[in-house]
Structure formats: structure tokens, C-alpha cells
């Protein structure tokens, strides 16, 4: 490892869904200082819409960085660089002067574009035969660019650049249109296997109303995106000329910051969206035609199985059923989640037969478009504490099912679990995850794994470490281990195999009947048909 001063560090900016954080991280992986500002994730002018002012993101980022720089606990000249990780698939239209033309399209937005009679019949039939048709149709309808083109044509015609939030913030920091390959997770003409913009002949250019001129230049994670401009320095307090090192999207950085460098180690993310991911050198699609995403390590991929609403369900439960606990927590000046965790911990493994399947949002393949959430097994002994524990158990069951799919496609057994995200702060959730997987659940030494992953990219890019393996070995470590309780694992094994894995198959016809009778939720395919 090259020689370096003991106190050298980087500033890692994490612009997530719930907050923007500026973290001062040294090259041993320690969080030296952190400034955090909560954000309003979105505003909604119509049901299902989720938008936010791009300037709002920038202003909060600038304020966060300025506060960090004004209260530095290290010398300014010890800061070697800046790096950035952001929420995925939040899209921004810019005009020729680099000014936003409309609110950002937040990844939680549920609008659907119209397929515009695509594809023609001669393509539709072979695509259906290959199993590609539904995927392509889903992408067309989910595309933010397509919706804007169809419904706000005057804005699309004035659009010079169409950027992810990461690209927009890079523009504001460096005044140039660059982005990392590790951020390209969304409905744009990107070749996930080659990790570059799609070739001219790729059908993605036909299904998305996007031209190459709309897109930024791409660099790989750990490469330099540019340097902090004079204007950005004035607004953020960051030193002018400081290099901005490319990282990746927050999920990818979370995997890296958790030390998951091979498919033998799975990273469970207990976030707004719950995921199970592995890092592969080979391109593997866990579900055919659904891509592996770019890793925060250049040339690698993250396989991902997602539970869309994930630990959002915890917030939903808290706001809908736990006003007493919220009021009590306020009186005790503690977080309500502490009381909820204690409440769930008092319930035995298996929640006395209460089972939850967390498909609160429909999917395209697994689950399918008819999917709904379900809770079964109610008896007169059950309380809201049982329901809360059943939510935590249901999420872990779904992630375990994802682990089985991942192992099957990777042809590699998962031997270790790393757990991160907000839900990892729950000791009950950590323990029941270890019990359900019948495997030790390892908690990284810091909660800020996304920021740490971005800092690892910066450390390699700045030549502090010669390779990612060295950087990971030096900057990540295990903080706490939760070992499975054998008696609980036996209960969960039987419930998972004999109940959970059968729920969806047996409930699917009923979900379809519910949808046909109530028209809720409408199938995305029905809009086309």
C-alpha cells in the first residue's frame, strides 16, 4: 500500500431517498464525521405521482456539505477527494443551459407510458415465444422518458440532457456531463452486460424516446469524473479543484461497503426496498431477461432479487397502527422503532402461526402482475405485536426465496450473510434473519455502508490501495454477528417450506379474481390490451 498520512480521508456524499449525508471517511473505513439532513422524498400532485425539485436536492446537498466543512475535525488539506452515491432511477430533464425543465421523476413514481402500438406483429410473436415480450412492454411503460414524450412533449423537445440524479449532481459539482457506469440502473438504452451505452442497432433505442445526445459520458467506478468547480465550491464549501471520484448507485455501494466481493457472500439490504445481492465477475440473470446491474467494482455485476416495498412496510405499520407507541416514544425521547423492536422480540418464532407474504406491489415476472400481499393464520391470540413480527419474518422469507433463486442461477452456494440498511438496526430483525436462513447474520462495523462503498471506490481511484481486494480488506470489517438459534431455525424451516413457499401458488387465482372484480390494482398489461 502506498504511503499516506494517518489522517487522510475522503468526503463521501450519500443522496438517498430519505436523507442526504456527507461523511468524512478515513482510509481504514472509519466514519470520522457525518452531517445528515432529512429530505422530503417527493411531492405528489396526482395519485401515484412522485416528483421533487432538482434544485431541492442540490440545495440540501450544498447545505449538508457546507455544514461539514464549517465544522471539520481534520485539517482541510487532509481531504484527498470527494465521491458521490445516490438513489437509483430518479430522472431529470435539463435544457441547453443545464437548467431543470421539470420536477425530477422519482423512482417511486407509478405512472405508465402507453406502448404506442409497439412492437409490430412480426416482432411481437417471436418476442412472445422467447419470453421477451412482457419484459420489453413493461420497460416501455415504465420509462420516464416515454411518459414525458407522450404527455409533456414541449418539455421533451427542449430537453438537452436526460440524467439520473447522480449525473445531475455531478453536473452541479463539476460543470460537465459525466456519470458512472455504476449508476445506470433504469429505463435508458444501456447495455448491462457490456456496461456501456447500447449499440446503434440495439432495440432499446426504438422503445425509449432517448437519443445519444441526451446522455452523459460514462466512466467506470474509481475513475475521475472531474473536479469541484469554483461555483460549486462557493455553494458547498468543498475545496475548489478537489477530484470527484466515480462510485455507483446506493445499492451497489452498499454491497461494496458491506464487504461482499464474491457470490459466496450475500448482501441483504433492509431498506425502503429490500434486496438480496451478490457480486459476480460473470454476467448472470437471476430471472431471465431481467439484468444484473453494474457493481461498484468495475467490470463486475450485482445480481439482485428485490422486495419492492421492503422495509417501507415497517413505516406503513408504524403510521397505521402504532400511534400509542409513537406518543410513548416521544415522551421517552426515543425512536418508536425501539419500542416496536422490543414488542416484536416478545413474540415467539413463527408468530404463533401468523404468516405474511410481502408482495404489496405487483411485478412483471416474480411476483407476477396479479400479486398482492397476504396475511394468513389469524387467531384470537394475535395482537399487533404478532403482526409486526410477521412482517419482519415475511420479508426474510422473501429474501430467503431470493437467495435460493440466486444460488440456482449462480451455481454457487451462499455461505455468508451481510446485513445492512435501516432495518439492520433492529436486533429482532437480525436474529430472526439468522434463524430463517439458518446462517450467521453479520452486521458491518458501520451503518453507513453506502457511503463507505463510495469511499472504497475513491480510495482505489486515488491510488491509496492498488486494488479493490486490498481496499475492502482494510476498510470493511464485521461489527456484530447474530448466530441462528437451532430451535427457531427448525420452526422457520418447516414454515418456509410447508407454508410460505406454497402461499403464492395457491393464492394466485384468488389474487386474479380480486383484481378482476375490483379492478385494483389494474394490470399494467391491461393498459396496452
Residues 129 and 203 in one domain: yes
| Alpha carbons 175 and 470: distance in angstroms, whole number | 32
Does the residue 253 lie in any domain? no
The verdict on residue 221 lying in a domain is yes
C-alpha angle with apex 322: 320 to 328, nearest 5 degrees? Answer: 145
Task: Tell me whether residue 3 is in a domain.
Answer: no
Residues 281 and 366 grouped into a single domain: no
pLDDT of amino acid 524: 57
Query: Does a structural domain hold residue 421?
Result: yes
Q: How far apart are CA 28 and CA 473, in angstroms?
A: 9
Residue 167: inside a domain = yes
Q: How far is CA 498 from CA 251, 296, 354, 492, in A?
A: 32, 38, 14, 10
pTM of the model: 0.93
Looking at residue 526, its pLDDT comes to: 58
104 and 236 inside one domain:
yes
Are both 202 and 132 inside the same structural domain?
yes
For residue 516, the model assigns a pLDDT of: 86
68 shares its domain with 140: yes
We report the CATH number of the domain holding residue 285 as 3.30.420.40
* Same structural domain, 402 and 262: no
In the beta sheet, which residues pair with residue 306? 275
How many domains, in total, are found in the chain? 3
The answer to the question of residue 252 being in a domain is no
pLDDT at residue number 529:
47
If asked whether residues 470 and 493 sit together in one domain, one would say: no
Beta strands in 112-236 (DSSP E): 161-164, 178-180, 190-191, 196-197, 217-219, 224-227
Per-residue pLDDT at 3: 45
Same domain as 231, residue 190? yes
State yes or no: cis peptide before 521, omega within 30 of 0: yes
Please identify, among 220, 246, 272, the residue that sits at the C-terminal boundary of a domain. 246
* Helix H or strand E encompassing 374: strand 374-376
- Identify whether residues 217 and 358 lie together within a single domain: no
Task: Report the b/e string of 254-276 with b at 16+ CB within 10 A.
Answer: bbbbbbbbebebbbbbbbbbbbb
Q: Virtual CA dihedral for 291, 297, 300, 305, nearest 10 degrees?
A: -40
Digits of tens for pLDDT over the chain (529 positions)?
444 556 899 999 999 998 999 999 999 999 999 999 999 999 999 988 999 999 999 999 999 999 999 999 999 999 999 999 999 999 999 999 999 999 999 999 989 999 876 777 777 788 787 778 888 888 999 999 999 999 999 999 999 999 999 999 999 999 999 999 999 999 999 999 999 999 999 989 988 999 999 999 999 999 999 999 999 999 999 999 999 999 999 999 999 999 999 999 999 999 888 999 999 999 999 988 889 999 999 999 999 999 988 888 998 999 999 999 999 999 999 999 999 999 999 999 999 999 999 988 777 777 877 888 899 999 999 999 999 999 999 999 999 999 999 999 999 999 999 999 888 999 999 999 999 999 999 999 999 999 999 999 999 999 999 999 999 999 999 999 999 999 999 999 999 999 999 999 999 999 889 988 988 766 655 554 4
Is 92 inside a domain boundary? yes
Q: Would you put residue 104 in left (φ > 0), alpha (ψ -120 to 50) or beta?
A: beta
- For residue 294, the enclosing domain spans 258-307+414-482
Residues 176 and 214 in one domain: yes
116 and 211 co-located in one domain: yes
Judge whether 477 and 443 are in contact, CB under 8 Å.
Answer: no
Please check whether residues 425 and 339 belong to one and the same domain.
Answer: no
Task: For residue 1, tell me if it sits in a domain.
Answer: no
Q: How far apart are CA 88 and CA 146, in angstroms?
A: 18
Amino acid at each position: 500500500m502506498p504511503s499516506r498520512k494517518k489522517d487522510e480521508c475522503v468526503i463521501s456524499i450519500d443522496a438517498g431517498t430519505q436523507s442526504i449525508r456527507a461523511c468524512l471517511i478515513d482510509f481504514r473505513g472509519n466514519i470520522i464525521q457525518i452531517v445528515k439532513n432529512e429530505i422530503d422524498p417527493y411531492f405528489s400532485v396526482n395519485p401515484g405521482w412522485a416528483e421533487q425539485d432538482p434544485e431541492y436536492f442540490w440545495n440540501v446537498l450544498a447545505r449538508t456539505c457546507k455544514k461539514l466543512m464549517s465544522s471539520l475535525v481534520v485539517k482541510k488539506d487532509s481531504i484527498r477527494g470527494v465521491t458521490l452515491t445516490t438513489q437509483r432511477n430518479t430522472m431529470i430533464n435539463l435544457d441547453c443551459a443545464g437548467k431543470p425543465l421539470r420536477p425530477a421523476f422519482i423512482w417511486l413514481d407509478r405512472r405508465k407510458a402507453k406502448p404506442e402500438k409497439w412492437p409490430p406483429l412480426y416482432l411481437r410473436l417471436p418476442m412472445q415465444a422467447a419470453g421477451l415480450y412482457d419484459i420489453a412492454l413493461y420497460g416501455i411503460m415504465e420509462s420516464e422518458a416515454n411518459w414525458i414524450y407522450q404527455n409533456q412533449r414541449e418539455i421533451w423537445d427542449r430537453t438537452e440532457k436526460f440524467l439520473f440524479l447522480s449525473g445531475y449532481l455531478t453536473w452541479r459539482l463539476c460543470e460537465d456531463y459525466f456519470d458512472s457506469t455504476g449508476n445506470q440502473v433504469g429505463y435508458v438504452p444501456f447495455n448491462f452486460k457490456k456496461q456501456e451505452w447500447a449499440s446503434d442497432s440495439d432495440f432499446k433505442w426504438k422503445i425509449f424516446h432517448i437519443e445519444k445526445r441526451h446522455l452523459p459520458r460514462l466512466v467506470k467506478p474509481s475513475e475521475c469524473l472531474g473536479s469541484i468547480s469554483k461555483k460549486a465550491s462557493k455553494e458547498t464549501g468543498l475545496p475548489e479543484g478537489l477530484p470527484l471520484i466515480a462510485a455507483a448507485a446506493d445499492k451497489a455501494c452498499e454491497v461494496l461497503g458491506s464487504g461482499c466481493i464474491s457470490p459466496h457472500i450475500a448482501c441483504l439490504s433492509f431498506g425502503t426496498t429490500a434486496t438480496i445481492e451478490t457480486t459476480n465477475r460473470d454476467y448472470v440473470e437471476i430471472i431471465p431477461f431481467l439484468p444484473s446491474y453494474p457493481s461498484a467494482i468495475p467490470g463486475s455485476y450485482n445480481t439482485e432479487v428485490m422486495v419492492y416495498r421492503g422495509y417501507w412496510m415497517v413505516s406503513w405499520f408504524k403510521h397505521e397502527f402504532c400511534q400509542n407507541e409513537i406518543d410513548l416514544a416521544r415522551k421517552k425521547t426515543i425512536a418508536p422503532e425501539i419500542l416496536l423492536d422490543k414488542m416484536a422480540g416478545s413474540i415467539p418464532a413463527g408468530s404463533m402461526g401468523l404468516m405474511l407474504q410481502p408482495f404489496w406491489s405487483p411485478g412483471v415476472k416474480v411476483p407476477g402482475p396479479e400479486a398482492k400481499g397476504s396475511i394468513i393464520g389469524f387467531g384470537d391470540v394475535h395482537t399487533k405485536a404478532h403482526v409486526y413480527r410477521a412482517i419482519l419474518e415475511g420479508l426474510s422469507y422473501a429474501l430467503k426465496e431470493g437467495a435460493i433463486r440466486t444460488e440456482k442461477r449462480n451455481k454457487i452456494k451462499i455461505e455468508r450473510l451481510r446485513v445492512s440498511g435501516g432495518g439492520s438496526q433492529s436486533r429482532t430483525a437480525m436474529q430472526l434473519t439468522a434463524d430463517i436462513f439458518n446462517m450467521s447474520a453479520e452486521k458491518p462495523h458501520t451503518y453507513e455502508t453506502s457511503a463507505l462503498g463510495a469511499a472504497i471506490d475513491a480510495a482505489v481511484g486515488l491510488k491509496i490501495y492498488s486494488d479493490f481486494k486490498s481496499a475492502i480488506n482494510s476498510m470493511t470489517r464485521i461489527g456484530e454477528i447474530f448466530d441462528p438459534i437451532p430451535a427457531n431455525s427448525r420452526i422457520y424451516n418447516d414454515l418456509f417450506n410447508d407454508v410460505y413457499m406454497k402461499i403464492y401458488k395457491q393464492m394466485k387465482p384468488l389474487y386474479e379474481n380480486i383484481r378482476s372484480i375490483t379492478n385494483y390494482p389494474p394490470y399494467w398489461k391491461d393498459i396496452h390490451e
